[in-house]
Structures are given as C-alpha cells and as structure tokens.
Amino acid sequence: MRIAVVREVVPGESRVALVPEVIGGLVKVGYDVAVEPGAGRSALIDDAAYVDAGASISPTPLADAAVAVSVQPLPPDVLTSGCATISFFPAGSRLVDVVARRDRQITTFAMEFVPRISRAQSMDALSSQAMVAGYRAAIVAAGRLRQFFPLNMTAAGTVPPAQVLVLGAGVAGLQAIATCKRLGAVVKGYDVRAAAAEEIRSMGAVAVDLELPTLEGAGGYAREMTEERAQLQRDLLTPYVAAADALITTAAVPGRQAPILVTRAMVEQMKPGSVVVDLAADSGGNVEGVQAGAVIAMGGAQVWGGLNVPSQLPAPASRLYAHNVANVIELMTRDGRFDPDFADEIVTGMCITHAGEVLHAPTRDALAAAEAARA
Ligand code: NAD
C-alpha cells in the first residue's frame, strides 16, 4: 500500500509531513512511500535523502495512494475517492471541504484531534509543534531585545539581566520559560490553571499569583474567562507587564478565539525598547491590536505577531511532526495494511469523515447549524 508525501501548497508552510528517518520503519511494515519531488526542500531535506531511506520520488504520488500525509489539509479535488488523509485539519473552519470529502468518500484524520490520553502522547502534534513555537518565541524575544538576557558582571561594571514575563504556561509557554531561563533572563510566568504554577516554578521561574480563582477545563486545558474576570486579570497583570523588558504570550482556549490578556494601553506602559512576542496572533492574539506575521510599534515597544511559528524552524518541527504522523500510521496498520480500527478511541477521536459520513460530532453539529441557517 502506498503512502504519498506531497509538496505543501500553503504559502509560508515550510514543514514536510514525513522525514527520511521515519521512512525505514514504514517500509518495514509493508508500505511503499512515494514523495513528490522537492517535498522536503523547504525543511532542508533533498530528494536523494528520501531515496536513500527507501522511498521513491514520484511527480504523481497521490495516484493509487491509500494514505496521503501532509501538514496542511490537501484540497479534496486532488484526492482519489476512497483514500485517507492525515494532516492538520481545522474542521470547524473548513466545512465546505468537509462536505466535499464526505461526498467523495475520503477518510480524513485530523492531527489536532488526537485525544489527550497518555497512549496517544507520541502522536500529539499540537504539543510537538507548540514546543517548537515556544522555543522560537524566546529566541525572537532575545534577538529583538537590544540588551543582554543574562546578568553580566565585568570589570567595566555590572549589566542587569532582562526581565521576561510569559503569559500562558502550557506546552509553548513552558518551553519559552525554559529557553529564556537558559539564556539567563529573570523569568516570571502566569497561567489560569492551578497545575501551571508548580510547572512554572519547576523551570526555575517565578509563578505570578494574582489571587484569582483558577480556570481548569477538560483534558488539561483552560476554561474561557468571563469578561469581568478578564478585566480584573488585566488590571492585576498591568504592573508585571510594565516591569517586563520582554513579554511572551501563549494563551489559548480550545475552539475559541485567543483571550485578550494585554491591552494596547498596557503595552504602552512598557519601557522604550521592550519586546512583545504574541504566539496566539494567528488565532486572534493575546495582545490587543497585534498583527499576525508583522512587527508593529506600540508606544516604545515592538510587538511581534506569530504566524505559523513552527514553520520558522522547519527541520526540527518536521522531524517531530513526522514521528507523530508515523506513530498514527503505525496505530492504524493491521497485518501490513492501512486498516484503522474504528473501535479505538484515538482513531475515532481524530476522524472527521469516513465512508460518506461525517463522524466527528462537533463538525456534524456545525454542518447541521450551517445548513439550518441557509434554509
Ligand atoms: P493551549 O495551547 O490550549 O493553551 C496554552 C496555555 O494558555 C494553557 O496552559 C492555558 O491554561 C493558558 N491560558 C488559557 N487562557 C488563559 C488566560 N486567560 N490567562 C492565562 N493563561 C491562559 O494548551 P496546551 O499548552 O496545549 O496544553 C495545556 C496543558 O495540557 C499542558 O500544560 C499539558 O500539561 C496538558 N497536556 C496534556 C497532554 C496529555 O495528557 N496527553 C498532552 C498535551 C498537553
């Protein structure tokens, strides 16, 4: 059975879904892996490396493919009826594609819906890519700040360390904290989940306590705030933001627009030359007025808005994503064939369409609501 690796067509997407080091394992269980020429180029992998690993290079990898793997969703019209896809697939914002895939009998597996259970950790691409983004956020902050991160004691005098504040201490935030600490900054972190305080401290950072109730949701995620609570949180965070040389924001609530944690007025209170890095910019932003993919001035600060940040480190991001995808394929392989077991909660959790049906309940509800609104 064939696995197709195609060249990504979304502008700015530099990752590739499979890297040579996972090809051998897939070939061993019986797959033939066909890679489109140049599919790995933006992730610094040339075609020869795929061939050396046991794949073939094909200008038409999708022909006869049982499974097509990619980072971004493939357009349904390039897919053969009956084939399966494994990629990120934000189903709620792609309902037209969902219908086309359902009607063409395409099986769609979405990497963002891998359930957060320990058996699925090796398939959790949201975590692997968030880790890359968190590291990148810290490096961007350190690179754009026109001062040292670490304390420097020299014969010419002492230069104090930079003060960094990280808002949101999930996978990306903790990685940003760890990286800023390694670079020598003094780091404070804040998150609405109770468990996060201990994790922030375990990275050697100070956990900011605003003495507000915590907001735990299902599956280790945060719950949405009321507007009253959001305002109080912003008021209490204002002096911490003003004191920071660099602010990194990473807060998200699943399925919702990112919460505004920091207003323009709060940023304007920061010192001249301060840096703000908003990793949530492409889901609305944690900082009021941020622009995804741009750096803008706010008072004396520069505000960097992240846009597909894992793609800015395409080699490690692809490597981690490829391992996640290969582990998904392995889970879905029985007797050397791609044969997902629809009794497995990981398989059903990440399946959007299969055999002419929309299996993912929230997507089915969203479709029904969209159809009702049209009628
Ligand atoms: P995420 O990307 O959805 O959110 C990032 C962080 O923002 C979270 O820590 C969240 O609590 C925080 N946040 C949300 N609203 C906020 C607000 N108003 N103010 C401040 N912070 C706010 O989350 P994530 O990083 O993907 O995961 C969150 C947690 O889930 C992680 O800490 C991790 O321990 C856990 N997790 C578990 C598994 C598993 O069990 N397999 C896998 C991955 C992550």
Query: What tens digit of pLDDT does each residue of 235-248 get?
Result: 999 999 999 999 99
Ligand 1 centroid to Cα of residue 51, in Å, is 39
Distance CA 307, CA 282 (A): 5
Ligand 1 centroid to Cα of residue 252, in Å, is 7
Q: What's the pLDDT score for residue 371?
A: 87
Query: What is the CB neighbour count within 10 angstroms for residue 368?
Result: 11
**Mean pLDDT across the chain, nearest whole number?**
96
Total number of residues shown for the chain: 375
Could you say which DSSP state residue 208 is in? P
Stretch 90-116: mean pLDDT: 96
Whether 124 is a known active-site residue: answer: yes
Q: What's the pLDDT score for residue 220?
A: 74
Q: What's the pLDDT score for residue 5?
A: 98
> 127, 269, 283, 312: which is the annotated catalytic residue?
127
Distance CA 221, CA 127 (A): 12
| Percentage, residues of the chain above pLDDT 70 | 100
Ligand 1 centroid to Cα of residue 171, in Å, is 6
Indicate whether 254 pLDDT > 80.
no
Per-residue pLDDT tens for 327-343?
999 999 999 899 999 99
pLDDT band at 253 (very low <50, low <70, confident <90, very high): confident
Contact 312, 40 (CB under 8 A): no
Distance CA 347, CA 113 (A): 10
Per-residue pLDDT tens for 43-99?
999 999 999 999 999 999 999 999 999 999 999 999 999 999 999 999 999 999 999
Stretch 355-369: mean pLDDT: 95
Distance CA 61, CA 327 (A): 21
Whether 127 is a known active-site residue: answer: yes
Nearest to 3 by CA among 11, 15, 28, 14: 28
Any ligand 1 atom below 6 A from CB of 280: no
Q: What's the pLDDT score for residue 328?
A: 98
Per-residue pLDDT tens for 119-162?
999 999 999 999 999 999 999 999 999 999 999 999 999 999 99
Q: What's the pLDDT score for residue 255?
A: 72
The H or E element that residue 206 is part of is: strand 206-207
Cβ contacts of residue 10 below 8 Å, gap of 6+? 72
Whether 233 is a known active-site residue: answer: no
Distance CA 325, CA 22 (A): 9
292 alpha-carbon distance from chain centroid: 14
DSSP string, 264-333: HHHHHTSPTT-EEEETTGGGT-SBTT--TT-EEEETTEEEEEPSSGGGGSHHHHHHHHHHHHHHHHHHTE
Any ligand 1 atom below 6 A from CB of 121: yes
Any ligand 1 atom below 6 A from CB of 115: no
Whether 221 is a known active-site residue: answer: yes
**Atom 35 of ligand 1 has which residue's CA nearest to it?**
220
Any ligand 1 atom below 6 A from CB of 229: no
Ligand 1 centroid to Cα of residue 172, in Å, is 8
Per-residue pLDDT tens for 18-52?
999 999 999 999 999 999 999 999 999 999 999 99
Distance CA 132, CA 127 (A): 9
The H or E element that residue 140 is part of is: helix 125-144
